[in-house]
Structure 1
Amino acid sequence: MSDWNEFRIVLAVARAGSLTGAAKSLGHDHSTIFRWLNLLEKRRGVQLFDRTSSVYTPTDAGLQMVMAAERLEAEIIALDRSITGQDARLSGKLKITSSETLAYRILNEVLADFCEAHPGIEIELLVDNRQLDLLRREADIAIRATRPHEGELFGRKIASTPWTFYGSRTYLTKRGRPATLNSLAGQPVIGWESTASAAASVWLTDNIAASAFAYRSSSLINQLMAVKAGVGLALLPCYLGDLEPDIERIFEPLDELTRELWLITHKDLRNTARVRAFFDHVGGGLLARRDVLEGVLSQQQTQTIASE
């Protein structure tokens, strides 16, 4: 087999487990992937997938091709990183991934300064709470609340990011301020959807009675807006809640939920001119806002910053 596209199709179907998922990842429609796969199997005279309803499971022959495709993909991505890593131009595209809360509250202001300083660099921001795979070039740079553990990654710690509970001033005046975490049982709590795996979601499940949850959302920004509307109390990162003038912290930050904010890239890309410029400029801009990120300013001071 000499056509990389054949391997890409098989790999995409195997990873997604369906034609619909493969079509989405490859940027084609379902019928096109179905036709290509049928032609591939007919041309090679072998069945590559067992079809059970809409689920596609690789056969032994299909699994062999998937494993070969993964090796080819790794080689192609490594070559791409190596070539990109030698790029000395302050131009081209940078694909960045960040959580929705950081993008909403802090990052755009820093990116505006970066774009003004480097007009030849095009920023593509992927706002996603999932950890996109830097090894597979799903993004060039990640700003995430996790220390990098993979040996191929290079990172710079920006700040610690504490979390605590918030409520609107109107709500707290009407319902009263809980004195302890135990007293949250008598308050409506805003939480994540039941399938969420975020650390804050797991903590809420382990520490708050299920009967206390009055509202759930997969979006922290939506949870913030629900707090502002007076729906109930929510667990939020301090850099998100502190900058809102009409909500207040209920408790001091919870030590067990404090995370680390890191700027991360693949070590092969760290010397690329545009990546290095991003680390210097955006990393510096985030460090300049470390007091906000770490929630060490009083809420009044933080809200003064937000209004300026």
Structure 2
Amino acid sequence: MDWNDFRLILTIGRHGSLKGAAKALGHDHSTIFRWLNALEGRYQVQLFDRKAGAYQPTEAGQRMILAAERMEHEALSVDRDISGLDTRLTGHLRITCSESLAYRLLNDLLAGFRAQYDGITLELLVDNRQLDLLRREADIAIRATRPTEGDLFGRKIAETAWAIYATPAYLTGRPPIETAPYAGHSFIGWHMEAAAAAAQWLTDTVADDQIIYRSSSLINQMMAVKAGIGMALLPCYLGDQEADLMRVSGTEAALTRELWLITHKDLRNTARVRAFFDMVGQGLIDRRSLLVGASKAQA
């Protein structure tokens, strides 16, 4: 058996389906199906139970997955050790952050970084999920949460504030904005399954029939506010920079979060990672007033 066999079983086990494994491995569904059948045929053992499209590892499959996890852990550890000794200001750097941070804060900073370090190519993974830095899904993350894993290294940037925003046109002829539950006003919210703290705050604060439009995208929510559909809860660094939006509430203390720049501790001395922390990290700190919601008063 070689690593590709183990990687195949590990990926199917993690995703619980051939479709998910195919996407992760960059192959089509039929190829993954053929490889799995060939592997099971070669060793005359069933590695997964198939039930309604879901793949559940058998005892043999679970043993392979555990072995693959150990192999992956060692490989990633060696990779990080070697990368951590890299003193070159060249190479590839993969960064992950939320779509709202990417939209409003990062482009200018990344342009400045590239102008100074043109030997470093950047890849920005815009994803509201927390990608796994331990498995090198990204080299650096900009997150609204303090790192808790012991193998991660972080630098606190600032706290981030949220408030309710609307357009002047929407407010015309409607009741004055007072306090929750904001009777007589319509809201733009998250999709029903969203686990974000802002989504839960809105659910707990306003009546369900006040949420007349939902979206899984924070940028789309902001654009819906601009279109006059209703009001929305937005991070201040996003809403305050839109000239046609008004902040119509104070910042919501319960939604204040810490913004962190994070990497794996084995990578923090890699030259390109250190350069990113120094330059982009300082650029974010210089925008602290925007992050904390101090740059625009409530209307």
| TM value normalised by structure 1 | 0.95
The superposition leaves residues 208-229 of structure 1 with CA deviations (integer Å, 9 ceiling, x where unpaired) of 2211110000000000000011
Native 8 Å contact 2:175 2:184 kept in 1: no
1:97 maps to what in 2?
96
Distance in 1 between residues matched to 2:128 and 2:221, nearest whole Å: 14
1:59 maps to what in 2?
58
Distance in 1 between residues matched to 2:176 and 2:244, nearest whole Å: 15
Distance in 1 between residues matched to 2:176 and 2:3, nearest whole Å: 61
Question: What's the secondary structure of 1:271's corresponding residue?
Answer: coil
Question: What's the secondary structure of 2:46's corresponding residue?
Answer: coil
Distance in 1 between residues matched to 2:122 and 2:266, nearest whole Å: 19
2:132 maps to what in 1?
133
The superposition leaves residues 113-145 of structure 1 with CA deviations (integer Å, 9 ceiling, x where unpaired) of 000000000000000111111011010000010
* Deviation for aligned residue 1:239: 0.5
The superposition leaves residues 172-226 of structure 1 with CA deviations (integer Å, 9 ceiling, x where unpaired) of 12324311122x2321110000011111111112222211110000000000000
1:43 maps to what in 2?
42
1:216 maps to what in 2?
214
1:116 maps to what in 2?
115
2:13 maps to what in 1?
14
Distance in 1 between residues matched to 2:137 and 2:243, nearest whole Å: 36
The superposition leaves residues 250-296 of structure 1 with CA deviations (integer Å, 9 ceiling, x where unpaired) of 11101010011100000000000000000000001111111111111
2:185 maps to what in 1?
187
Native 8 Å contact 2:174 2:184 kept in 1: no
Distance in 2 between residues matched to 1:163 and 1:274, nearest whole Å: 32
Native 8 Å contact 1:164 1:236 kept in 2: yes
Distance in 2 between residues matched to 1:260 and 1:135, nearest whole Å: 21
Distance in 2 between residues matched to 1:16 and 1:275, nearest whole Å: 30
Which of 223, 234, 241 in structure 2 is aligned with 1:243? Answer: 241
Native 8 Å contact 1:164 1:235 kept in 2: yes
Native 8 Å contact 1:177 1:250 kept in 2: no
1:306 maps to what in 2?
none
Distance in 1 between residues matched to 2:297 and 2:116, nearest whole Å: 31
Figure out how many residues of one structure are paired with residues of the other and give that number: 298
Q: Which segments of 5 or more consecutive residues in structure 2 lack a partner in the other structure?
A: none
Distance in 1 between residues matched to 2:30 and 2:171, nearest whole Å: 55
Distance in 2 between residues matched to 1:16 and 1:133, nearest whole Å: 15
Question: What's the secondary structure of 2:259's corresponding residue?
Answer: strand
| TM value normalised by structure 2 | 0.98
Question: What's the secondary structure of 2:267's corresponding residue?
Answer: coil
Distance in 2 between residues matched to 1:249 and 1:35, nearest whole Å: 56
Distance in 1 between residues matched to 2:293 and 2:52, nearest whole Å: 51
1:260 maps to what in 2?
258
* Deviation for aligned residue 1:160: 0.5
* Deviation for aligned residue 1:299: 4.7
- Does residue 177 in structure 1 map to residue 186 in structure 2? no
2:198 maps to what in 1?
200
Distance in 2 between residues matched to 1:75 and 1:207, nearest whole Å: 47
The superposition leaves residues 43-102 of structure 1 with CA deviations (integer Å, 9 ceiling, x where unpaired) of 111000011121111001101111111111111111111111110000000000011101
Q: Which segments of 5 or more consecutive residues in structure 1 lack a partner in the other structure?
A: 301-308
1:304 maps to what in 2?
none
1:23 maps to what in 2?
22
Task: State the Cα RMSD in Å.
Answer: 1.1
Q: Which moves more between the two structures, 59-68 or 170-179?
A: 170-179
Q: Percent identity?
A: 64
Native 8 Å contact 1:243 1:299 kept in 2: no
Distance in 2 between residues matched to 1:240 and 1:58, nearest whole Å: 44
Question: What's the secondary structure of 1:9's corresponding residue?
Answer: helix
The superposition leaves residues 13-32 of structure 1 with CA deviations (integer Å, 9 ceiling, x where unpaired) of 11111111100000001111
Distance in 1 between residues matched to 2:281 and 2:176, nearest whole Å: 37
Question: What's the secondary structure of 1:186's corresponding residue?
Answer: coil
